[in-house]
C-alpha cells in the first residue's frame, strides 16, 4: 500500500513538473494620431497583422487628430499595463510628456511615421528618410525638366508639422543639388503655399486657391499623395489639364498615385510604405517586451529610400493593398 501511494505521489509530482508554464501574452499599445486617411488605416492594419502573427495583443487608440485626446488615450493604455507603446504623435513637443510617463512605468516607446522632440525618452523612431527620398525625387525632377524654369505650388499638411517640413525641405534640397550637378546652376520659385491637411479634399481646396492666385504654376509639390491627388482634380475642374502642370509628391506611394504614375499622369512620389513601417514596429515591440533589443539600438530607423517613377511604378503598384 505504501508502495502504491509512493508511486501515485511520484506520478502526481511528475505530472506537476511536466505541466508547462503558461506563456505571457505581450500587450502592445498603439496610439494613432488619426484613422481618417488610408495611410494611417494601413499602418494600423500592418501592426495588428504582424502582432497577431507573433502572438501579441494590441490595444488601439485613435486620437482623431486631437493632441489632448491622444495624450488621454496613451495614459489610459498605460493604466492597462501595456508592455510597449507604439505611437504616431500628433505633435512633436506636445507628446513628450506621455513618453516620460511611459518611461517611469518602464514601458518602451516606439515612434512611427512622424517625429518627436529629441528630449523624449523613446527607443527609436521608424520612418522613411525624407532627406534621401527628397534627393531621389530631386534627381528625377531635374532630369525630367532640364533647364525649364520651375514655378512650384507647394501643398503642405499642417502648419508646424515637423514631418511636413522635413519632406518639403528634403525635396527642395534635392532639386537644388540635382540642378547643380546636372545643369551647373540652381534655382526655382515657390509661388505659393497651401494647407491641405493631408487629405485629398484639402488638396482640392488648397490647389483651387493657388491656381486662382498664381496662373503661372507649372509644377506642384505635395507633402503626400492624397493632397497631390486633390491637386490633379482641382486642375481638371479648372479646365487646365492641358497645361501640362507637373505633379509630384515627397511621399507616400499610395496605390492610386502609383497607378497614375504608371499611366504617365503623375510625375513621381517617395516611398513611405505603411505596411513596412507597421511590420517593423510590431517586430521591434515584441523584442522590446522580451528585452531582446541590443544595447545602442539606433534612435532613428529608416526604411529604404525609393523614388517611384514611371520607370518602376509597376513594381510598387499593389491594387489590393489598403493604401
At 130-147, the pLDDT tens digits run 999 999 999 999 999 999
Q: Are 40 and 33 a contacting pair, CB within 8 Å?
A: yes
What is the average pLDDT score of the chain?
Answer: 92
Q: What is the pLDDT of residue 6?
A: 36
Q: Please give the distance of CA 160 from its chain centroid, rounded to a whole number.
A: 17
What's the mean pLDDT in 251-266?
97
Is the per-residue pLDDT at 13 higher than 80?
Answer: no
How would you classify residue 198: left for phi > 0, otherwise alpha for psi between -120 and 50, otherwise beta?
Answer: left
Phi-psi region at 125: left, alpha or beta (left = phi > 0; alpha = psi -120 to 50) = beta
- What is the structure's pLDDT at 10? 34
Q: What does the pLDDT average to over 251-255?
A: 95
pLDDT at residue 21 above 70? Answer: no
3-class secondary structure per residue, the chain: CHHHHHHHHHHHHHHHHHCCCCCCCCEEEEEECCCCCHHHHHHHHHHHHHHHHCCCEEEEEECCCCHHHHHHHHHHHHHCCCCEEEECCCCCCCCHHHHHHHHHCCCCEEEECCCCCCCCCCCEEEEECHHHHHHHHHHHHHHHHCCCCCEEEEEECCCCCHHHHHHHHHHHHHHHHHHHHHHCCCCCEEEEEEECCCCHHHHHHHHHHHHHHCCCCCEEEECCHHHHHHHHHHHHHCCCHHHCCEEEECCECCHHHHHHHHCCCCCEEEECCHHHHHHHHHHHHHHHHCCCCCCCCCCEEEECCCEECCCCHHHHCCCCCCC
Enumerate the H helices of 1-117 as residue ranges. 2-18, 38-53, 67-79, 96-104
Does the structure show a pLDDT above 80 at 149?
A: yes
> pLDDT-derived band of residue 322, with 50, 70 and 90 as boundaries?
confident
Q: How far apart are CA 75 and CA 246, in angstroms?
A: 45
State the cell numbers at 307.
523614388
Identify which of 14-18, 37-41, 199-203 has the greatest average pLDDT. Answer: 199-203
Report the SS3 class of residue 253.
coil
What pLDDT is attached to residue 23? 66
Say yes or no to pLDDT of 104 above 80.
yes
Own/partner contacts of 3-9, CB < 8 Å, gap of 24 or more, are none
Half-sphere exposure of 23 (CA within 13 A, CB side): 8
Please report the pLDDT score of residue 241 as a whole number. 93
Of the listed ranges 5-9, 57-61, 204-208, the least confidently predicted one is: 5-9
Quick one: pLDDT at residue 1?
A: 38
Q: Is the pLDDT of residue 103 over 60?
A: yes
Residue of 232, 222, 221 whose CA lies nearest to 259: 232
Q: Is the pLDDT confidence value at 164 over 60?
A: yes
Confidence of residue 108 (pLDDT cuts 50, 70, 90): very high
All structural domains of the chain, each given as residue ranges with its CATH number in brackets, are: 27-122+274-304 (3.40.50.2300), 130-271+311-316 (3.40.50.2300)
Only one residue has cell 507637373, namely 246
85 beta partners = 29, 109
Separation of alpha carbons 294 and 281, rounded Å: 15
For cell 501574452, the residue is 25
Cα–Cα distance between 145 and 1 in angstroms, integer? Answer: 97
- Give residue-wise pLDDT tens across range 65-92: 899 999 999 999 999 999 999 999 999 9
Residue 161: its pLDDT value, please?
Answer: 86
Q: Is the pLDDT of residue 18 over 90?
A: no
Q: What is the pLDDT of residue 8?
A: 35
pLDDT at 87: 98
Higher pLDDT, 34 or 283: 283
| Cα(108)–Cα(88) distance, integer angstroms | 14
- Of 56, 106, 61, 55, nearest to 88 (Cα)? 61
Residue 2 pLDDT more than 50? no
Greater model confidence, 161 or 8: 161
The structure's pTM equals 0.84
> What value does the mean pLDDT take over residues 283-312?
96
Task: List pLDDT tens digits, range 213-243.
Answer: 999 999 999 999 999 999 999 999 999 999 9
Grid coordinates representing 288? 522590446
DSSP state letter for 120: S
Quick one: pLDDT at residue 121? 98
- pLDDT of amino acid 24: 83
Amino acid at each position: 500500500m505504501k508502495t502504491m501511494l509512493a508511486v501515485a505521489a511520484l506520478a502526481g509530482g511528475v505530472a506537476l513538473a511536466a505541466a508547462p508554464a503558461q506563456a505571457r501574452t505581450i500587450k502592445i499599445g498603439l496610439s494613432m494620431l488619426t484613422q481618417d486617411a488610408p495611410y494611417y488605416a494601413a499602418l494600423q492594419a500592418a501592426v495588428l497583422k504582424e502582432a497577431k502573427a507573433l502572438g501579441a495583443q494590441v490595444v488601439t487608440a485613435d486620437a482623431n487628430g486631437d493632441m489632448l485626446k491622444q495624450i488621454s488615450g496613451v495614459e489610459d493604455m498605460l493604466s492597462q499595463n501595456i508592455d510597449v507603446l507604439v505611437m504616431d504623435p500628433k505633435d512633436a513637443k506636445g507628446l513628450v510628456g506621455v513618453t516620460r510617463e511611459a518611461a517611469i512605468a518602464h514601458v518602451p516607446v516606439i515612434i512611427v511615421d512622424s517625429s518627436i522632440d529629441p528630449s523624449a525618452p523613446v527607443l527609436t523612431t521608424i520612418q522613411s528618410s525624407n532627406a534621401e527620398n527628397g534627393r531621389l525625387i530631386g534627381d528625377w525632377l531635374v532630369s525630367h525638366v532640364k533647364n525649364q524654369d520651375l514655378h512650384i505650388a507647394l501643398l503642405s499638411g499642417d502648419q508646424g508639422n515637423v514631418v511636413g517640413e522635413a519632406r518639403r525641405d528634403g525635396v527642395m534640397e534635392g532639386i537644388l543639388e540635382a540642378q547643380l550637378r546636372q545643369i551647373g546652376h540652381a534655382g526655382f520659385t515657390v509661388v505659393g503655399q497651401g494647407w491641405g491637411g493631408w487629405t485629398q479634399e484639402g488638396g482640392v481646396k488648397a490647389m483651387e486657391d493657388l491656381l486662382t492666385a498664381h496662373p503661372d504654376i507649372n509644377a506642384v509639390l505635395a507633402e503626400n499623395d492624397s493632397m497631390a491627388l486633390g491637386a490633379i482634380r482641382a486642375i481638371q475642374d479648372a479646365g487646365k489639364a492641358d497645361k501640362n502642370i507637373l505633379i509630384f509628391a515627397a511621399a507616400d506611394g499610395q496605390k492610386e498615385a502609383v497607378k497614375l504614375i504608371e499611366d504617365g499622369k503623375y510625375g513621381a512620389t517617395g516611398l513611405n510604405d505603411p505596411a513596412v513601417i507597421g511590420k517593423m514596429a510590431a517586430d521591434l515591440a515584441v523584442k522590446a517586451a522580451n528585452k531582446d533589443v541590443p544595447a545602442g539600438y539606433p534612435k532613428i530607423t529608416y526604411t529604404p529610400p525609393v523614388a517611384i517613377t514611371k520607370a518602376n511604378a509597376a513594381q510598387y503598384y499593389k491594387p489590393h493593398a489598403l493604401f
